[in-house]
Structure 1
Amino acid sequence: MSGAAYLGVDVGSTSVKAAVYTSAGRCLGIAAKPSRSIRPHIGWSEQDMDEVWSLTLDVMRAVIEAAGVRIDAIGVSGQGDGLWALDDGRRPVRNAILWNDARADDLVLGWIADGTSAELSRYSRTSNWAGTAGTLLRWLEDNEPESAARVRHVLFCKDWINFRLTGVLSTDYSDASIPFLDIGTRAYAPEALDLLGIGRHGGALPAPARSTDVKGGLTAEAAAALGLAKGIPVATGTIDLGAQMAGMNLGRPGDVYLVLGTTAMLNIVTAPEPFAGEPVGATLAHSYADRFIRVIAPLTGTQAYDWFLSVNPDLAALGDAGAVASGFGRLAAAAPAGSNGALFLPYLAGERAPFVAPQATGAFHGLTTATSRADLARAVLEGVAFSLKHCVRSTGLAHPAQVFLTGGGGRNAFWCDILANVLGTTIVASDESDHGLWGSALIAAAAVGHLDVEAPPHRPQQLRRHAPDPSTIEAYERPFELYAAISGLSAPLWDARRTALRHIGDRP
């Protein structure tokens, strides 16, 4: 609709961003602020829910003032999973516990051992992990029973923001997917809650709706705080991944999207499938298409790159991010494909795909007196690429013809070349960073009937295509098989390390 403008909001675990777009996809203004995580113990990750709301208001106000136009609709996306619980007064029960929290690792390991995780996956088609709402609710029951007794509403991050904007409690199918939804019926499975020992909380889950539904309008209080008119429609919204895929128009079966951020996220659009055993990774309802997203989210990613920089400060001191990436690439390029036999297991924060192993740790293998710093640098980049290939292979899905790539790692051209050759497919990399914001705004526009989210307007963007080289693909075959073998044999060592270090409080 000509002259209309839409506000997209992305509430992440490290920052909050907002942008205003026209119906043609032109950005009229963008604002962002870092957010604060609270880590009271090793492996714990929390956020103050009121602080997140206040920060989101600040960012929304800033971009509304900068854009200087009438806002026709608002769409919010947010970090997924975690536990954002309200009491009967609709106030936070406690700090939100985030998706990357590891306090419930022992619960997950126990459920894997006794078959609970496998049985749970019949409904959600997801390999459960420590940071899901179901796991964290059970942890609350066992460790903070007073808090658990006060839980009346279980939300997700974007639902909390939408509630503060509209006064309406809601969620969408993408966030509701893990771990309570029966993917086959698209309804909550009481059996799933019972398996986790939290059956009494079934009534706390809001009924899921489509991301493009309007679930309410701005309250008078929220409108006054933002300088907007009361009643502006707010879409149900979606998980951040759903917004990113909407912003890239990825909704066809076989579309593959890789986010190479602090952790990696490999996302494959699929048609509904019958249950065929415990899956690798997670399954989300697509934010707008009648399809699902297979999400394989290893905990590997740019944190391995960042770690190598932290122990090589001369590289980190080269300048801005582009200069550092170029310097890292030059160093790694001095070693051949396969890093002269050096292999890196990138499990610096445990692992959750293609297997769940919170006790996993990183390691170099194959080092000799001839191993150089260049070998180690390249091995780090290759190790992350091998992890992603391990994930792709474990799905059993068709080999992708191409992979769309965003995230900080996608701006490193040399790393993109390695990914193309390890995965054996063309990498289409985008340097744009606002796909999620545009996707949120697009969902808002669709919610008020102004745009078709499945046929969005074309937005010009710079794309780089990294095609694989057949000879380099072959050079990576044996190193990858060795990587997979070493990874598979490492579990007893990880368990032994965990046991040995418990007495000094080191919880990986």
Structure 2
Amino acid sequence: MSAIAIDAGTSLIKAVVFDDDGHEVAVARHATEVRRPHPGWAEQDMDSVWQAVAAAIREVLPQARDGVRFVALTAQGDGCWLVDEHAEPTGPAILWSDGRAAPVVDRWLRDGVAQEAFRINGSLGFAGLPHAILTWLREHDPDRVASSATALTCGGWLFSRLTGVVGVDLSDASVPLLDPRTSAYSPELLSLFGIEWARPLLPRVLDGPDATAGLTRAAAAELGLAEGTPVVLAPYDVASTALGAGSTAAGLACTILGTTLCTEVFTPTVDTSGDPSGLTLVLGSGADLVRAFPTLAGTEVLGWASDLLGLAHPRELSALAEQAPPGAGGLVFLPYLSPAGERVPFLDTSARGTFWGLSLEHGRDAVARAVFEGLTMVVKDCLLAAGARTHELRVCGGGSNSEMWCRLIADVTGLRVVRPADGEVGAKGAFLTGLVATGSEPDLTRAARRHVRLDRTYEPEPDLVEGYADQYERFGSLRRIATRGWHLDRQGRQGRQGHRQATQEDPA
């Protein structure tokens, strides 16, 4: 029998039919809207996301001609998807990329709270996480908090619509309030962040058999599936993608070249040493942990650069970048374009994009190459921050379709880069999780070994590796210099905003 895997991303919902051997039989893609009602905000209508999921399932269902043995679900992580006691939305979802709570995080950083929390859970939180969003809402929208019963994530919200079960999986619960050693919410972390009051809002953590439930009668009727069909809540998208890329063995890492550039490695133990950085995700009791470094700026930067240079598609940006020599004629780009700053491998809500060394001698090709090289330096940044011994990097996501970028990643990191054959790697990870949850495979490592297929390998060129090693050092030095400028710029922007508000309140 077939299986259907859902990958509910931030801007695109995908439903994939897999056959018994793990081959993609059919794919449906439905776009969703991210609303930005104020600068730095990012929201979605929760019911619209569910409707997109339902439409995608209905579209692919006719291709599951031998029936559906289970539905597996992965989704965008983090954010705050508040529901009432009937599991109905109390307003729009506030997404992982939302920056309204940046002042809250800045306060925690300034007071050493964020750093102390890292020593407990191995994660450095950011503005798009529930602890920060709930703190902001209590200060600015207390009625929303009062009307809410549970703070879900996207995966938890969709699971509740499919099964009626209200909860989140371990990976979604991991950051920022879970103790990865106990797989339970930490009273110490709640106290540290001053949000003991939010404990009743934290969802039930679904682990093991609890992360599988039957499809409700109402959902079955809406989707055209049989009531009681098993629904498996897989780890959220960045972790499921690492599984789908087959990066479960020692020495393998994964980088998602998507809306976020997320670099991940599997690790058997919690590591809270060193400089606070990244996230530690729990996949399940007894399973390895994932050290994840999901940036706030990813392939959207390529879209921005394409628009800036008058190009129709990032494919054209890649072709233009190939016309410039390695190193882009000395031009260096710091690719921190998210309005919320950056979260890995450092946390700075003031971080902004910066070109260094730009002159009249640089053409469009150099700018294009500098953009790709800047994003690739971030990948290397995150690999080094992960601290794992790695000999191979699996790459996936829309950006992995660029041959030029795959070669560049190999040359900058010095690692063999391998692209999986599957087009929908996040959905593949959900499918593998479903196989294990329903007893068809003994564990995720063996499931990946059997079902993950590889497409192409890119070996690093030694001469370019050496040159890019020097460029990486320059990249880091220039970022350290830029940090002071980011903070001065932020102070200036805050001053201008304060002046405008005062003028509006007292026009005289």
Q: Do the two structures share a fold, i.e. TM-score over 0.5?
A: yes
Alignment partner of 1:331 out of 294, 313, 320: 320
- Relative to structure 2, which stretch is displaced further, 418-427 or 457-466? 457-466
Superposed counterparts of 1:434-445, under 5 Å:
434-445=424-435
Q: Is 1:358 aligned to 2:355, yes or no? A: no
Alignment partner of 1:309 out of 302, 306, 309: 306
**1: CA distance, partners of 2:398 / 2:215:** 34
TM-score by length of 2: 0.92
Q: Is 1:32 aligned to 2:29, yes or no? A: yes
User: Partner amino acid for 2:459?
Assistant: A
8 A contact 2:78–2:128 mirrored in 1: yes
Aligned to 1:165: 162
Aligned to 1:146: 143
- Relative to structure 2, which stretch is displaced further, 32-41 or 331-340? 331-340
Secondary structure of 2:165's partner? coil
8 A contact 1:242–1:287 mirrored in 2: no
Aligned to 2:412: 422
Q: Is 1:465 aligned to 2:454, yes or no? A: no
**1:162-194: CA deviations, max 9, x gaps?**
111111112211111000101122211012122
User: Partner amino acid for 2:427?
Assistant: L
User: Partner amino acid for 1:484?
Assistant: G
Alignment: residue pair count: 495
Q: Is 1:55 aligned to 2:52, yes or no? A: yes
Aligned to 2:380: 389
Give how far 1:504 is off. 4.7
Cα distance change, pair 300–49 in 1 and its aligned pair in 2 (3 A): closer
Superposed counterparts of 1:474-485, under 5 Å:
474-485=466-477
User: Partner amino acid for 1:236?
Assistant: L
Aligned to 1:373: 364
Alignment partner of 1:407 out of 381, 397, 404: 397
Cα distance change, pair 460–284 in 1 and its aligned pair in 2 (3 A): closer
Give how far 1:281 is off. 0.9
- Relative to structure 2, which stretch is displaced further, 490-499 or 63-72? 63-72
- Relative to structure 2, which stretch is displaced further, 414-423 or 207-216? 207-216
The Cα RMSD (Å) is 2.2
8 A contact 1:247–1:435 mirrored in 2: yes
8 A contact 1:253–1:271 mirrored in 2: no
Secondary structure of 2:68's partner? coil
**2: CA distance, partners of 1:252 / 1:203:** 38
User: Partner amino acid for 2:379?
Assistant: L
Give how far 1:249 is off. 2.8
**2: CA distance, partners of 1:498 / 1:201:** 30
- Relative to structure 2, which stretch is displaced further, 84-93 or 33-42? 84-93
Cα distance change, pair 128–199 in 1 and its aligned pair in 2 (3 A): same
**1: CA distance, partners of 2:406 / 2:286:** 29
Cα distance change, pair 49–304 in 1 and its aligned pair in 2 (3 A): closer
**1: CA distance, partners of 2:428 / 2:104:** 38
Superposed counterparts of 1:68-467, under 5 Å:
68-210=65-207, 213-286=210-283, 290-313=287-310, 315-316=311-312, 325=315, 327-349=316-338, 350-398=341-389, 400-430=390-420, 432-452=422-442, 453-456=444-447, 458-459=450-451, 461=453, 463-467=455-459
TM-score by length of 1: 0.92
Cα distance change, pair 204–215 in 1 and its aligned pair in 2 (3 A): farther
8 A contact 1:251–1:289 mirrored in 2: no
Give how far 1:379 is off. 1.3
User: Partner amino acid for 1:90?
Assistant: A
User: Partner amino acid for 1:202?
Assistant: R
Q: Is 1:487 aligned to 2:506, yes or no? A: no
User: Partner amino acid for 1:495?
Assistant: H
User: Partner amino acid for 1:415?
Assistant: W
Q: Which runs of 5+ in 1 are unaligned?
A: none
**1: CA distance, partners of 2:322 / 2:31:** 34
- What percentage of aligned pairs have identical amino acids? 33
Q: Which runs of 5+ in 2 are unaligned?
A: 501-508
Alignment partner of 1:496 out of 488, 493, 502: 488
**1: CA distance, partners of 2:135 / 2:205:** 22
Give how far 1:103 is off. 0.5
- Relative to structure 2, which stretch is displaced further, 40-49 or 28-37? 28-37
**1:82-122: CA deviations, max 9, x gaps?**
00122223221221101110111111111111101011112
8 A contact 1:297–1:352 mirrored in 2: yes
